[in-house]
Amino acid sequence: MAADAPAPAATSWHAQSLWQAVGNVCIFAIIGVFVAIVGFKLFDKCTPGHLGREIVEQRNVAAAIIGAAVIIGVCIIVAAAIMG
């Protein structure tokens, strides 16, 4: 191989146009919401009782704060994974 031969271009998932960027945002948003819901449901299964029912029917503010903290925590992890 010649020394002056150009190196092959590295492939990247970064968008090359506005529409690709919008598509990536939509895909990441859908995946992020799905993972946040799965994380909440998994946390709900690991704890005693039914967290969703406790929040809606009993109007338990403490349970709602715990649920929000779980969702925010999962979203932080998803955002860090997306950022690379």
Q: Contact 51/43 with Cβ under 8 angstroms?
A: yes
Q: Half-sphere exposure of 30 toward its Cβ, with a 13 Å CA cutoff?
A: 5
Radius of gyration for the chain, computed over Cα atoms and rounded to the nearest angstrom: 21
What is the reported pTM? 0.70
pLDDT bin (cut points 50, 70, 90) of residue 60 is: very high
pLDDT bin (cut points 50, 70, 90) of residue 38 is: very high
How far, in Å, are 49, 66, 68 from residue 53 at the CA level? 9, 13, 14
pLDDT in tens, 16-34: 889 988 998 899 889 989 9
